[in-house]
Structure 1
Amino acid sequence: METAWSWWPIPGTQRRVLVARLPQPSTRAVQRALSDTLTCRLFADAGHVVAVDDIGRTIYGKPQVRDHPLHHSISNTRSLTIGVLGPGPIGVDVEVLDRPLRVAPDLLTQRLFASAAEATDCLQHWTLIQAWTAKEAVLKAAGLGLAGGLANVRIAPDRAAARLHGLRYSLSLLKQEGFSVAVAECIRG
């Protein structure tokens, strides 16, 4: 399949996400191969040679490049695969903004938030999809993925940071071409 490549800047940062778009949704195997190709391109853009054989997976399925000082994260939705690279733990998530919810909104809200007050506060500023992408990006930066529990991620009222298990993460959220993209980076110190 022909892949269209582009970069999307992350507002307020020097970072950008690498975007691979297929002409139509693909199988999981095609997405995984595309994720590996995207990973190699991310590292090459930063001046580092990484081969597909250098890419492994954590027990949570997160792609990783062994024995490398840079960190990366990948996300897929429909025909889009995106990735981001950083010097420390980093996570990215992407979802279609108009994604149909196949779960009752009340049930999703209970899964996404630790309390009704947190849900009310967050949903005054964000849609469920935006909150989901932000929280999943934090969980990916922590190396846990969804196994870490969306409700365990607390988003700051200013939407620029989040907390998980005592650690702080910076958050960047963008809307691009009908997608919600969130990038989370662990803040040291």
Structure 2
Amino acid sequence: MSGLSVSPVKTLMALLIGAILGLAAGAGSAMWIAGAVGPGVRIGGGINAGGWKSDWTIGSPAANPWTRARVARHGLLALSKEEAVYFTRNTDDTGERLQEACTYRVTGIALPALWWSLTLYDATSFLPQNSDNALSFDRTDADTARMGEAWSFLIAPERPDAGGPWVSSRAAGNFDLTLRLYKPAPDLIAAPLETLPPPAITRLSCRSAP
């Protein structure tokens, strides 16, 4: 039997290595989910309206610890759904990743909220570092352009020659869009999939790599 015995030192080392690996895996997954490493804020709580994802527990005590950690870290999604609801999207209508090298047209109709905005964030959930002062489109922009019920704007790294509403993706790399709807209609909270008319994102062209 002595040939089958395991040295106490080896046993201790194995337990120590296992504990270290377990702590590293747990800490790494927590940091990933909280947005401290890897991609930034991503919402995915079972609500998916035409590619726009949301989670109705955001801003409430029902939010899981990982969602609350992301809110605390990024400060983007702090209000309850009665005050505001949030949807994010990082792909176009073909399912391709949104990226700085491409030009997109975003189109939609009147949204069920008192006020709304669409804002572009880079892959780390921060505003791109550019000086274009054109990182968001909102209901006021649509009203100013007198678009009526339907509205549209372009996303591109440079201001389009034809003019018109534009959101800059310069220095954004792979990016996301966050749709905020403030004071949403009760029907939207009760039945988001049936009530939200999801904005479409059409890829128009892409620059070839140098």
**TM-score, normalising length: structure 1:** 0.31
Q: Larger RCO: Structure 1 or Structure 2 (Cα < 8 Å, ≥ 6 residues apart)? A: 2
**TM-score, normalising length: structure 2:** 0.28
More strand by share: 1
Q: Which has the larger radius of gyration?
A: 2
